[in-house]
Chains A and B, each alone.
Chain A
Amino acid sequence: MRINPNVVPTILADLQQSQVSLDTALQQVSTGKSVNVPSDNPTAAAAMVQNTIESGDVDQYTQNVNSVLSTVQSADSVLSDVVKSLTQAVSLGTEGANGVNSAADQQEIATQVQGIFANVLSAANTSVGGAFLFGGTSIATPYTADPSSSTGFTYSGNDDSNSVAVGDQMSVQVNLPGSQVFSNSTTNVLGSLNSLVTALKSGNASDITSATSAVDSAVNYISQQQVFYGNVESQLNSQQTTLQQDTVTLSTQENNLIGVNEATAATNLSQAETDNSAALAAAAKVLPNTLLNFLQPPS
């Protein structure tokens, strides 16, 4: 059977084919990716859309956890300070109720408790990153001293709280409004301090005792509120671990979808180079050969 004497198109097609393989191998080695355009692997490219969006979200959730965690820790430590101040006020109240102080000493104690009132009020106005820890969702300074009020202060915050997204469909309540942290129907932290100051100033021992006991129960109340922040912290810590695992899972998935094994890619490249050289060498050998090369020219 006659065969096609024109080998040029076949040789060109082979050369082109080996050039394509070489380009592909080179691109995979240089980008570290096996999927550079959707047509390289449509399924993987589609799965990568989800992966990219999820990775972005997980990164942001991780940042949120870190930022919220520092806010919550600040609130927790502020409340610990408040507990210390209140405990100090209880000691002062007990001292003021013992009946052996001079009027001047009594006033001195009252002034000290007044100072504690101011400290606690200032603590209740702590802000982190421009947002008040105990103002609910309001941007107004939550607490102002108000001598005209029976409790000695005015609350300008609101009763709301914010929840921050730390996962898909998962958010964590990150603050308690001051109206809840510092008071409920039976306890009023700042109010009890204010009453103690008033009682100390008046010198009435039984008033001082009952006011001191109110401050004492305020200590317990604040400690109970701290539990909330402790719980949020542990929730955030556990979410942090989950997010770290998600990051690993997503990057593993990304690698499985579009990554290349470097050893395989390098082997492919060297294979493609060899093939390409072989195709070129073969073309160089075959193309110029005809019967005429072996005939004597007519004399």
Chain B
Amino acid sequence: MTRMGGLNASLLIGMQALDAAQGALTATSNNIANVNTPGYTREVAQFSENGENQTGDEVTGGGVTLDGLQSIRDELLNIQIQQQTSLQSSVNTQSSSLQQVQTFFTSSGNDLASALTAFSGGLAQLSANPGSTATQQSVLANGQNLASAFNTTAQGLTAAQSDADRQVPQTVTQINSLTQQIAQLNGQLSQVPAAESGGTTEDQLDQLVQQLSGLTGIAITQGTDGETITTANGTPLVIGGQSFNLQTSTGTNGFQQVLDSNGNNITSSIQGGTLGGAIGIRDQVIPGFLSQLNTLASQLGTAFNTAQAQGFDSNGNAGTNFFTIPTNTNDAAAGISVAISNPAQIAISSDGSADSNGNVANLSAALTNKLPSGQTPANAYADLVFQVGSATSNANTQSTAIGQNLTQLTNQQGAVSAVDVNEETTNLMRYQAAYEAASRIVSTIQVLDNAALNMGSSSSF
């Protein structure tokens, strides 16, 4: 029975312990260094017990091995955060666009409700003072204000639409740049075993994917050669080390269309992210408002022209069109204007005599009677105000709700992955103590070795 191997074994164990503590200190210092780095995932030193040594009947421990530094991340949580990020940036894009749009529907003195009020009031005044040139002049001016309120509101809507349209190619360029970087990192990752990567590449990849999810809704699958990323409807963006660029081209409606790498138009299937939000605003939300506004402008103008035709102007001539309405209803609100320039052309009279106000009732009725749409002008406009307000309010509410959800998820992610300075400080002290203790093992064994070697020396006696 011999135990001579014992001291050497202890020396080995001490050296391994030094290595392990040193490695752990590296992780701790790297964690502290990156405490404010976005996307950084904390590293934890992974220790494992070495196999036992059996010498005869005796079994002794084999020391410690530092297996590596593991980045602590929760992929499921990351995916949830990416999805919510997509939703939020889509809703935020819509919300900020609608905030602009709704100012055109806010009572300001220049809005349609104010213009309708003034026009209607002016006509009532005309009823009491049919012969007053000043009153006629003010009805004409009120009519021009109404037309220009329609123009301004339509321009406000189309301006928001153009803003959204401009975001499409910009966002597509950003998406392409991100997918190229992601594909490159994917390629790097597939060549390095996860345990040796140290987590840096993965952190970068997660950051980029997170940014990408803010631009458009994506779906991610993990494959053998890294992540496969597609748009929500399955158009590939990244497969392993290869990226697929999206393209844009001007469509027949004058708006930028999104094409996949093969040139297929995928605009209508884009959902989520800035891109999905901008396309939704441009192709669905605003066209809905515009169509209602155009119908109102066209039908109100036509009804007023019809009433005008029922009477006679101050010169005894049959009433002519008050409003010029574009033939294409789609241009009605943007293009409506007042056709007459002389207040004497307002068809006030019902019988051709100059002081008659008989047709004013018809003119007024055109503003209060139901239009072919089944709504009175005031109701049709009120409906539009409700829809704009409701869409804006919904977008705001959703943005707040998703924001809270996202804060919650980010908190959970932080609980898993974020660096805690207090924890690292504690670890620093732990590993410092461990390192000091391990070095004490080495120095102690050295002393013992010396003692053993000197046992046979004459000088010791």
- List the interface of chain A (C-beta within 8 A of B): 1-6, 9-10, 13, 36-43, 45-50, 52-53, 55-57, 59-61, 63-64, 67-68, 129-132, 135-139, 158, 160, 162-165, 168-169, 171, 290-292, 295
Contacts and interface: CB of A to CB of B under 8 A. Distances in A.
B389 A45 contact: yes
A298 to B, nearest CB: 10
Contacts of A38: 102, 105-106, 385-386, 388-390, 392-393
A53 B113 CA distance: 7
Given A38-B388, A169-B368, 18 more contacts: A5-B414, A9-B414, A37-B102, A37-B389, A43-B386, A46-B383, A46-B385, A49-B113, A53-B113, A53-B117, A55-B117, A67-B129, A130-B132, A132-B355, A137-B354, A158-B351, A160-B353, A171-B361
Interface stretch (B50-58, B374-382, B446-454): B374-382
Chain B CB count within 10 A is highest, among A47, A49, A139, A169, for: A49
A39 B393 contact: yes
Nearest to A44: B389
Contacts of B411: 4, 9-10
Contacts of B360: 165
A295 B425 contact: yes
Contact of A63 (B125, B393, B407, B421): B125
A5 B388 CA distance: 41
A174 B420 CA distance: 86
B399 to A, nearest CB: 12
Nearest to A1: B415
Main secondary structure on chain B at its contact with chain A? Answer: helix
Contacts of B386: 38, 42-43, 45-46
Contacts of A5: 414, 418-423
B3 to A, nearest CB: 40
Contacts of B121: 56-57, 59-60
B412 interface: yes
A46 B292 CA distance: 15
- In this complex, the interface size class of chain B, counting residues with CB under 8 Å from chain A, is 35 or more
A162 B356 contact: yes
25 contacts: A1-B415, A2-B420, A4-B413, A10-B411, A38-B392, A39-B389, A42-B388, A45-B385, A45-B389, A46-B385, A50-B382, A52-B107, A52-B114, A52-B117, A56-B117, A63-B128, A64-B124, A64-B127, A68-B128, A136-B355, A162-B130, A165-B123, A290-B422, A291-B421, A291-B426
B414 A4 contact: yes
Nearest to A49: B382
Given A136-B353, A137-B353, A138-B353, A49 B358 contact: no
B127 A171 contact: yes
A47 B379 CA distance: 9
B415 A3 contact: yes
Nearest to A290: B421
B312 to A, nearest CB: 11
Contacts of A164: 127-128, 357
A269 B389 CA distance: 24
A160 B356 contact: yes
Nearest to B412: A4
Contacts of B198: none
Contacts of B287: none
A292 B421 CA distance: 8
A131 B132 CA distance: 9
A129 to B, nearest CB: 7
